[in-house]
């Protein structure tokens, strides 16, 4: 009598909203091959909608910065130890860490030592800073899934198995953005001058960036008194925080919350004429939506100086990194003040030829990332499982 095989069990951990989006696509693709598989670990709402089982709220891992994490280190270490033990007890077939490298690579190292195959989805920025980490990554990870083409080339040089999967956002976002439709969905006028403000998804990030962004908005209104500002809020906590900060700044803006869906940030950017946003995955979304943007970046001062000391990257935003040239302005730390932000927005609004040039450049970059990421990643994981 043949032995009945149990369904595969995938251990998955996403550390923030962008990882939740990636994880949801990957779970969906893997379920096409393994309909009875289980996905357990730490999931956001999108992954849970695809059937993921979450043992802890995803937001407990959403901490930005080297200094900021110190206040939460005990809790994070406790969560990490608990998930490692539960993964081993569940006898998972493979562990997939999605972004959050400081957390997930530690989990991967322990699980690999226990004989479990490990995958990391979204390369850490090891090509940009702290290149010495490659040795720890090789010791922890059996397979790296890379969103960007130059990342695979780096891992090839260091003999770590890696697959360029492209980016799921490039697959899901159309090459031509429909601004009018986005405005209709949000109930916004088609002829308004709309500026999207995205101070980030984390509480600390919003606290740092809201003041210069909202002060810049006041300056913008002096030149464009009929301009309107639109802001996405990914959850009720962020909406309440942003609303309080707007009141303190004396600024009027429309906040669109998660009742518009998990993609509210994308919808708001799609409706805008210009996007002012924190550095991160949102810059890639803005590029894929073909939107002129101003990228701002502020960290705790000590975190920033540590990052600057260790970094070898020329740029911080994904459009500039992909193009290997400065396509969009990057305002960092003290440079990210209200006059500089407002000036950069004016340049976006007033230079029509440059806007069209950006659309053409963004379209080329968009096409380079369309590789059917979720399915390509799923096939790479299946190949690892069968080795």
From residue 283, how far is each of 45, 72, 163, 185, 381 by CA, in Å? 22, 27, 23, 22, 28
- What single DSSP character describes residue 4? P
Which residues on adjacent β-strands are paired with residue 330? 295
* Residues of each domain in the chain carrying CATH 3.40.50.2000: 9-166+371-385, 172-368
CA separation for the pair 97, 42 (Å, rounded):
10
Supply the Cα-derived Rg of the chain in whole angstroms. Answer: 21
And the tokens for 269?
């950017």
| Residue 24: CB atoms within 10 Å | 25
- How high is the pLDDT of residue 154? 87
Find all residues with CB under 8 Å of 263, minimum gap 6, and list them: none
- Whole-angstrom distance, CA of residue 78 vs CA of residue 103: 11
Sign of CA dihedral 214, 220, 226, 229: negative
In the CATH scheme, what architecture does the domain 172-368 have? 3-Layer(aba) Sandwich (3.40)
As a whole number of Å, the end-to-end CA separation of the chain is 26
Residue-level pLDDT at 307: 57
Supply the CATH classification number for the domain 9-166+371-385.
3.40.50.2000
Contact between 166 and 371 (Cβ < 8 Å): yes
> What's the token pair of residue 278?
């924190």
User: What pTM value is reported for the model?
Assistant: 0.75
Angle at 32 between CA 145 and CA 175, to 5 degrees: 60
pLDDT tens for the 387 residues of the chain, in order: 344 478 999 999 998 887 898 999 999 999 999 999 999 999 999 999 999 999 998 877 765 444 455 566 788 888 999 999 999 999 999 999 998 888 899 999 999 999 999 999 998 876 545 566 788 999 999 999 999 888 898 899 999 999 999 988 899 899 999 999 999 999 999 999 999 999 987 777 888 899 999 999 999 999 999 999 999 998 888 999 999 999 999 999 999 987 776 689 999 999 999 999 988 889 999 999 999 999 998 765 555 555 555 555 676 788 998 998 999 999 987 788 999 999 999 999 999 999 999 999 999 999 999 999 999 999 999 999 998
Classify 174 as helix, strand or coil: coil
Q: Name 370's Cβ contacts closer than 8 Å, sequence gap at least 6.
A: 166, 170, 171
């Amino acid at each position: 009598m043949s032995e009945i095989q149990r369904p595969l069990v995938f251990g998955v951990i996403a550390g923030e909203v962008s990882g939740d989006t990636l994880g949801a696509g990957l779970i969906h693709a893997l379920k096409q091959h393994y309909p009875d598989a289980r996905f357990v670990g730490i999931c956001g709402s999108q992954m849970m909608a695809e059937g993921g089982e979450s043992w802890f709220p995803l937001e407990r891992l959403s901490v930005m910065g080297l200094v900021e994490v110190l206040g939460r280190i005990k809790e994070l270490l406790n969560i990490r130890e608990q998930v490692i033990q539960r993964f081993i007890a569940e006898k998972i077939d493979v562990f997939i860490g999605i972004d959050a490298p400081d957390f997930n690579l530690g989990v991967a190292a322990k699980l690999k030592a226990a004989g479990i195959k490990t995958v990391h989805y979204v390369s850490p920025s090891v090509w940009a800073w702290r290149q010495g980490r490659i040795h720890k990554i090789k010791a922890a990870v059996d397979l790296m899934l890379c969103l960007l083409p130059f990342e695979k080339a780096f891992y090839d040089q260091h003999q770590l198995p890696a697959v360029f999967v492209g980016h799921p956002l490039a697959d899901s976002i159309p090459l031509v953005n429909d601004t009018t439709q986005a405005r209709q969905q949000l109930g916004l006028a088609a002829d308004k001058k709309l500026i999207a403000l995205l101070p980030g998804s984390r509480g600390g990030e919003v606290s740092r960036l809201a003041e210069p962004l909202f002060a810049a908005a006041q300056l913008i209104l002096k030149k464009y008194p009929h301009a309107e500002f639109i802001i996405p809020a990914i959850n009720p906590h962020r909406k309440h925080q942003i609303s309080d900060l707007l009141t303190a700044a004396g600024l009027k803006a429309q906040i669109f919350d998660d009742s518009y869906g998990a993609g509210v940030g994308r919808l708001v950017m799609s409706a805008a004429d210009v996007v002012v946003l924190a550095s991160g995955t949102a810059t890639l979304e803005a590029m894929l939506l073909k939107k002129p943007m101003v990228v701002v970046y502020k960290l705790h001062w000590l975190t920033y100086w540590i990052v600057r000391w260790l970094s070898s990257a020329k740029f911080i935003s994904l459009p500039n990194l992909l193009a290997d040239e400065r396509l969009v302005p990057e305002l960092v730390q003290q440079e990210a003040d209200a006059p500089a932000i407002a000036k950069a927005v004016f340049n976006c609004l007033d230079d029509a030829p440059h806007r069209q040039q950006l659309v053409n450049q963004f379209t080329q970059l968009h096409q380079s990332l369309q590789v059917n990421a979720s399915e390509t990643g799923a096939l790479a994981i299946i190949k690892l499982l069968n080795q």
